[in-house]
Chains A and B, each alone.
Chain A
Amino acid sequence: MSEEWLIKGAAILGGAPSDIHLKDGVISRIGQDLDAPEATVLDAAGLIALPGLVDLHTHLREPGREDAETVETGTRAAALGGYTAVHAMANTEPVADTAGVVEQVWRLGEQAGYVDVRPVGAVTVGLLGKQLAELGAMADSAARVRVFSDDGFCVADALLMRRALEYVKALDGVIAQHAQEPRLTEGAQLNEGEVASRLGLAGWPAAAEEAIIARDCLLAAHVDAALHICHVSTAGSVEIIRWAKSKGWRVTAEVTPHHLLLTDDLAEDYDPRFKVNPPLRTHGDVAALREALQDGTIDCVATDHAPHPVEAKETEWAAAANGMTGLETALRVVQKAMVDTGLLDWAGVAMRMSARPAAIGRVSGHGHPLSEGAPANLTLYDAAAGETPVDPRTHASKSRNSPFAGMPLPGRVHATFLRGTATVLDGKVTR
């Protein structure tokens, strides 16, 4: 399919307004007062142009939990959030631990056509942490898996983690660890701290995340492998990653939008909308995470979009599922937490939500700067749209479990283009 677009007056990375001409799936020209008689014109005055966002961490739930989300609904949500590529985590049913399942997920993404879906392969069979999955088969499959993760679970066995880190060197792959020492977090419900103590909820100590991160950084250094840390949530984790990077070790890290904005005191009324793994933490942790994202200790933002059906969240806290949706609110939360606070400019956002995640995921075709010849993956964002309360009922995701429901957030994604085809126009999907 070959759409041709002339985007007029967009502020590229928030800079001076330019015209952008998209043709045959690439950015054909960038300049002033461009002329393209065959193209559909999009008036982008007042909008910021960003490279299409890349999510390193999403749960699309298909196969197996289509009651919560499907590849189609999840990728639709992603496009509405400004994304052009997402990594689909492996904790589906069946688990994505074979070439067959990852190829299925990849194909579903192709058919839906909203974003490029990059399946993540499980590190261990069934996510059980006992035996390596066929990482090579998944890498060689049509899904071309490069990121491997048991997310949902920690690869807790030190020896297995070492082997996994070593093994994927031959595949140009990276192990993405969900850092959670299981013995320290049995039955844990909320960040171990003042709020959990008062509420009578079993604590999830920061040390349980930090201990695994420290161990895995040392292992990655020892075997000279790439390590990625999922959803970093504590100030202590930030310090360890900063130290590991200072040694030149190949450690990368992500942070979720919700960990940049929300804290554990929101659990006061036991509303499971705020229940997530790793849990919301303290104001001190939020401040450290923001600073780390700014200075590059944390490389990127990843949503950990975790849709759940209503009945999984409308219960007492202990029985509720962990997780929050995030694709459709990510850019708005990052604007509120990082841009409007002066910590990042839009170029910085583009680096952390597009370029770095694409590099870590080894995703070709995405994360390129907006320049002539680059693939036409971009999003147009209205940062000046005033704050409006988030209404999950309007979301494309099948699930409504957003912690931002009712919360005023700035900004609005206006349009998203995947290889020159508009997936979102005027804030709505094109099909």
Chain B
Amino acid sequence: MNRHLISAGDLSRDDAILILDTAEELARVEGRAIRKLPTLRGLTVVNLFYEDSTRTRTSFEAAAKRLSADVINFSAKGSSVAKGESLKDTALTLEAMGADAVVIRHPASGAPRRLTDWVSGRVVNAGDGTHEHPTQALLDAFTIRQRLARGTDRHGQGLDGIRVTIVGDVLHSRVARSNVLLLATLGAQVTLVAPPTLMPHAVETWPCRASFDLDAELGKSDVMMMLRVQQERMTAAYFPTVREYRRRYGLDASRMALLPEHAIVMHPGPMNRGVEIAAEVADSDRSTIVAQVANGVTVRMAVLYLMLGGATEEAV
């Protein structure tokens, strides 16, 4: 595996499958009385979160602690140099603290990449601006494999041939970018659906299809991944009203009924119930939303384990 995890594109197919398989092994730790492994004992993992995100931060925190790492939460308000301490100065502080790994979430695309120039530890991108969120893509892939893999033994399997449709504000979505890259690496067929204003420029160069028509994709999707749509996009004229967005791109109960029987519905959260996803869809049996959160911890454990604990398989 690469030294750092900045982009889902950093992972080869073998890297990605190793992470998923390792996560499966680590999931068994959950069932034990003492849910801890000593692998990262003595190592320090710093959560450097410039954006408020209780969900992701606690997910990384839980993952690191279950591997017995020491966790430091460094919450920095305000990203620009004008507002507070510069990213570089923060990085140098973390160096002084002896961080073995820095998990960074930052509103500016590229901040994790810049961080790698200033820290000697490993850098894990927990979401940078509108660029990428690789561990989200990993937990999404893990969840898809968990629900849709052929046969009972998932070990070594990718997502070959599975049809994944990602719907929503793709233009501003780091989750979409990471998922497109990782799903393609794992052999899935990806289709992006969005209004033209929310489809990235040059999307035709990405390893996926693009469509403006959600209804046309329903019957041929094994996975429907819904992305959150921010209401602020309306004032920037990306779409006329929330109502029109919901009508044309919202996954409601009647659209859900048109999905193949085995198809699952995913959402990285947080959801806008009633906008991109109807409440009854979010709460249906097809929905993996809660499982995604749980899988987030084990997948992040796998990433930290493989990055910091060596790739040798310990007796779990």
Name A315's contact: one of B81, B129, B132, B177 (CB within 8 Å).
B81
Name A317's contact: one of B86, B109, B200 (CB within 8 Å).
B109
Q: What chain B residues lie within 8 Å of A193 (beta carbons)?
A: 201-202
A269 to B112, CA, bound (A): 10
Across the interface, name the chain B residue whose C-beta is closest to A196: B201
Contact with B along A281-317 (1 / 0, CB 8 A): 0000000000000000000000000000001101111
Q: Restricting to A137-190, which residues have a CB under 8 Å from any CB of B?
A: 189
Given contacts A194-B202, A270-B109, A319-B80, contact A200 B129 (CB under 8 A): yes
Q: Restricting to A180-226, which residues have a CB under 8 Å from any CB of B?
A: 189, 192-194, 196-203
Name A201's contact: one of B79, B80, B109, B206 (CB within 8 Å).
B109
B109 engages A197 (CB within 8 Å): no
Residue A318 at the B interface, CB < 8 A? yes
Residue B174 at the A interface, CB < 8 A? yes
Q: What chain B residues lie within 8 Å of A312 (beta carbons)?
A: 81
B108 engages A319 (CB within 8 Å): yes
Given contacts A199-B110, A199-B131, contact A316 B87 (CB under 8 A): yes
Q: Restricting to A295-351, which residues have a CB under 8 Å from any CB of B?
A: 311-312, 314-319
Given contacts A192-B201, A200-B131, contact A319 B79 (CB under 8 A): yes
A317 engages B108 (CB within 8 Å): yes
Q: Which of A189, A192, A197, A314 has the most CB of B within 10 A?
A: A197
Across the interface, name the chain A residue whose C-beta is closest to B111: A316
Name B109's contact: one of A192, A200, A314, A315 (CB within 8 Å).
A200
B110 engages A201 (CB within 8 Å): yes
Across the interface, name the chain A residue whose C-beta is closest to B181: A198
Name A269's contact: one of B87, B113, B132, B177 (CB within 8 Å).
B113
Name A316's contact: one of B106, B177, B203 (CB within 8 Å).
B106
Q: What chain B residues lie within 8 Å of A189 (beta carbons)?
A: 109
Residue B130 at the A interface, CB < 8 A? yes
A311 to B130, CA, bound (A): 24
Given contacts A198-B177, A199-B109, A269-B113, contact A319 B81 (CB under 8 A): yes
B203 engages A318 (CB within 8 Å): no
Q: What chain B residues lie within 8 Å of A196 (beta carbons)?
A: 201
* Secondary structure dominating the interface of B: loop
Q: What chain B residues lie within 8 Å of A198 (beta carbons)?
A: 177, 202, 206
Q: What chain A residues lie within 8 Å of B130 (beta carbons)?
A: 200-202
A315 engages B201 (CB within 8 Å): no
Across the interface, name the chain B residue whose C-beta is closest to A205: B201
Q: What chain A residues lie within 8 Å of B109 (beta carbons)?
A: 189, 199-201, 270, 317-318
A431 to B197, CA, bound (A): 58
Q: Which of A197, A199, A200, A312 has the most CB of B within 10 A?
A: A200
Given contacts A200-B131, A270-B114, contact A315 B202 (CB under 8 A): no
Q: Which of B80, B86, B129, B206 has the most CB of A within 10 A?
A: B129
A315 to B82, CA, bound (A): 11
Contact with A along B107-132 (1 / 0, CB 8 A): 11111011000000000000011111
Name B108's contact: one of A192, A194, A314, A318 (CB within 8 Å).
A318
Q: What chain A residues lie within 8 Å of B81 (beta carbons)?
A: 311-312, 315, 319
Q: What chain A residues lie within 8 Å of B87 (beta carbons)?
A: 315-316, 319
B201 engages A197 (CB within 8 Å): yes
Given contacts A318-B109, A319-B81, contact A200 B174 (CB under 8 A): yes
Across the interface, name the chain B residue whose C-beta is closest to A192: B201
Across the interface, name the chain A residue whose C-beta is closest to B118: A314
Q: What chain B residues lie within 8 Å of A203 (beta carbons)?
A: 201
Q: What chain A residues lie within 8 Å of B129 (beta carbons)?
A: 200-201, 318
A315 engages B200 (CB within 8 Å): no
A428 to B111, CA, bound (A): 39
Q: What chain B residues lie within 8 Å of A316 (beta carbons)?
A: 79, 87, 106, 108, 110-111, 114
Question: Nearest-CB distance from A195 to chain B (Å)?
Answer: 8
A316 to B110, CA, bound (A): 6
Across the interface, name the chain A residue whose C-beta is closest to B199: A197
A203 to B80, CA, bound (A): 20
Q: What chain B residues lie within 8 Å of A199 (beta carbons)?
A: 109-110, 131
Q: What chain A residues lie within 8 Å of B206 (beta carbons)?
A: 197-198
Across the interface, name the chain A residue whose C-beta is closest to B110: A270
- Residues of A at under 8 Å CB distance from B? 189, 192-194, 196-203, 269-271, 311-312, 314-319
Task: Taking A316-B106, A317-B108 as given, write out 12 further A-B residue pairs in contact, using a Cβ cutoff of 8 Å, ordered by the A residue number.
Answer: A193-B202, A199-B110, A200-B109, A200-B177, A201-B130, A269-B110, A269-B113, A270-B110, A270-B114, A318-B80, A318-B108, A318-B129
- Residues of B at under 8 Å CB distance from A? 79-81, 86-88, 106-111, 113-114, 128-132, 174, 177, 200-203, 205-206
What are 14 contact pairs spanning A and B, CB under 8 A?
A: A194-B202, A194-B205, A196-B201, A197-B206, A198-B177, A200-B129, A201-B109, A201-B129, A201-B131, A311-B86, A315-B114, A317-B108, A318-B80, A318-B110
